[in-house]
Amino acid sequence: MVRGVYIHIPFCHQICNYCDFNKFFFQNQPVDEYIEALGQEMVLWADDLKNASVETIFIGGGTPTSLSVKQLERLLALIHTHIPMDSLVEFTSEANPDELTLEKMQLMRKFGVNRLSMGVQTFDQELLQVLGRTHSNDHVYKVIEYAKQTNFPSISIDLMYGLPNQTMDQWKASLKEAFRLNIPHISAYSLLVEPKTIFYNLLSKGKLTLPGEDLEAEMYSYLMDEMKRNGYAQYEISNFAYKGIESKHNLLYWDNDEYIGLGAGAHGYVNSVRYSNHGPLKKYMHTIEVDEKPIMMQKEVSQVEKMEEEMFLGLRKNEGVSLARFEQRYGQALQGVYGKEIDELLEKELVSIENNFIKLTKRGRFVGNEVFQYFLTS
């Protein structure tokens, strides 16, 4: 059963140097028309939404806060019109710190948004410029003040490490500032240089200097230690939170549960089918105009593939994969399916089995992708 809804807003006032998500420079784009198309796409999913128990909604991008107050209000009104809210427990919007005004935050609270996910990335102004970010630390401080004024229940920030020419001291300083601000949820990711990004082009020309693997591993180790020391529980490879503040929407992904993805380039997983929408705006909007779901590709997930996904998604969580839940879902004991692989990983001390869960060891978190490969057999 569908438990969540993801809504993609693909517009940005500034294209970041590392971003490979489906996005478009805001100026001269059919933003109002796109929002109406999103509403129509919700109508096309009406039967599935009617039978869903929607616990989480996540508005991502792009940059949802690139919308004007009027546009944001229209989007939120459409969500309330077409998506059942009876079971909703978490309603998140991504945000750029320099685009969040008090008025926008008041509007979000009016419509039930109870969690902000801010792309801070670093508190070092020079590194922000390297990333192509337009905000300053003062913007972050202002948003935190607005959050107090509007009684925003939860704020999360994204931080990045392994950035071009980033030093260990810079990484330590960013974490120290995040702790000082008492942010209840922090996601911290190592930089991945993806194709079709400015960083990728620079790297291919030899014009991008990245920290080596050893320094990046040192940064990750320091991250885990300092998070624990400052009262944050690590509940996933890259995510840390005060108790009870974990991202329920992201846990839905890692629990391998179903969700509807709406918007240009969005992905979804419904009735054992994984799908992705058309990315180009014209194609996305034209398909909706003729009353068709704007699905570009879809694939029914086989039983073997579901078990693989259960493993490599579930192992991202600190608690790991439940042996009981695996058997209940797939009718087979986990060790009966992956006994050889698990034995080898146990021998290498990359996983452990505790309290009927298989999970990554601390050592295993450093080589998570290597561990996940053991379960990709199809």
pTM (2 decimals)? 0.95
140-167: average pLDDT = 95
* 86-105: pLDDT as tens digits: 999 999 999 999 999 999 99
C-beta of residue 222 within 8 angstroms of C-beta of residue 172: yes
Percent of the chain with pLDDT over 70: 99
Q: In the structure encoding, which two tokens stand for residue 230, read together?
A: 């400052």
Q: How many CB atoms lie within 10 A of CB 284?
A: 25
Domain 2-253, what architecture?
A: Alpha-Beta Horseshoe (3.80)
- Whether 48 contacts 100, CB under 8 Å: no
Pairing of the two strands 295-300 and 273-277:
antiparallel
Q: Which fold has domain 303-373?
A: Arc Repressor Mutant, subunit A (1.10.10)
Query: To 5 degrees, how large is the angle CA 9–CA 14–CA 17?
Result: 105
* pLDDT tens per residue across span 328-363: 999 999 999 999 999 999 999 999 999 999 999 999
Q: Which segment, 9-18, 127-136, 165-174, is predicted with the most confidence on average?
A: 165-174
Rounded mean pLDDT, 58-77: 96
φ, ψ at 78 (rounded to 5°): -65, -40
Which residue shows structure tokens 């128990």?
53
Q: What does the alpha-carbon distance between residue 272 and residue 99 come to, in Å, rounded to a whole number?
A: 37
Q: Evaluate the omega torsion of the peptide bond into residue 39 and state whether it is cis, within 30 degrees of 0.
A: no
378 has pLDDT over 70: no
Distances in Å between the Cα of 349 and the Cα atoms of 88, 109, 334, 341 are 40, 46, 18, 12
Give residue limits of the domains in the chain: 2-253, 303-373
Is residue 5 exposed (0-12), middle (13-18) or buried (19+ Cβ within 10 Å)?
buried
Contact 24, 12 (CB under 8 A): yes
Domains 2-253 and 303-373 share a fold: no
- State percent of the chain over pLDDT 90: 88
